[in-house]
């Protein structure tokens, strides 16, 4: 029995994982450069002071404390970003292993591949495009059964 559906959804999930890894990696690198860039912080304070003079709703906000909050946020994003990258890499590896298992289980049950797809989907995030592709691949692995030949004894 061909396992084309499982392989297609597994590959789609893996591609979404690669996109997520590159996007979050780019975000982490760009956010980490904000905290060490003094010019950005000074420009942020200058822009806040300009807006402070023009907008009466910003009277309670101190521009320097706002800039410090932005820098603290970007510093705090780094560890969370690396955590997400690690989860996506684990999900990618599990998705590839599940695709290999589904390919090897052409003429038998693909339950192991289904469970690997589910674990990969959990690591990719409960609700994301990647996890949806992995969930669909897992459901197909569990539902599709190999054809059994009727072996009746003829007397």
Token duo for residue 14: 């893996």
* pLDDT exceeds cutoff 70 at 58: no
Q: Of 137 and 30, which is predicted with more confidence?
A: 137
Write the CB contacts of 72 (distance below 8 Å, at least 6 apart in sequence).
none
Q: Which domain holds residue 34?
A: 4-143
Q: What confidence score (pLDDT) does residue 41 get?
A: 77
Q: What confidence score (pLDDT) does residue 67 get?
A: 75
Q: What confidence score (pLDDT) does residue 149 get?
A: 63
User: 154 lies in a domain?
Assistant: no
Q: How many domains does the structure of the chain reveal? A: 1
Chain centroid to CA 108: 30
User: 150 lies in a domain?
Assistant: no
User: 139 lies in a domain?
Assistant: yes
User: 79 lies in a domain?
Assistant: yes
């Amino acid at each position: 029995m061909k396992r084309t559906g499982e392989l297609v959804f597994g590959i789609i999930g893996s591609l979404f994982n690669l996109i997520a890894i590159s996007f979050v990696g780019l975000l982490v690198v760009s956010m980490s450069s904000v905290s060490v860039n003094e010019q950005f912080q000074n420009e942020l304070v200058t822009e806040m002071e300009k807006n402070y003079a023009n907008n009466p709703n910003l009277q309670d906000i101190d521009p320097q404390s706002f800039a410090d909050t932005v820098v603290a946020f970007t510093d705090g994003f780094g560890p969370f970003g690396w955590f997400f990258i690690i989860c996506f890499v684990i999900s990618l590896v599990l998705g590839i292993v599940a695709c290999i298992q589904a390919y090897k289980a052409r003429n038998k049950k693909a339950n192991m591949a289904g469970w690997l797809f589910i674990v990969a989907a959990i690591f990719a995030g409960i609700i994301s495009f990647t996890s949806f592709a992995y969930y669909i691949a897992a459901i197909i692995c569990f539902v599709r059964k190999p054809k059994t030949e009727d072996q009746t004894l003829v007397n």
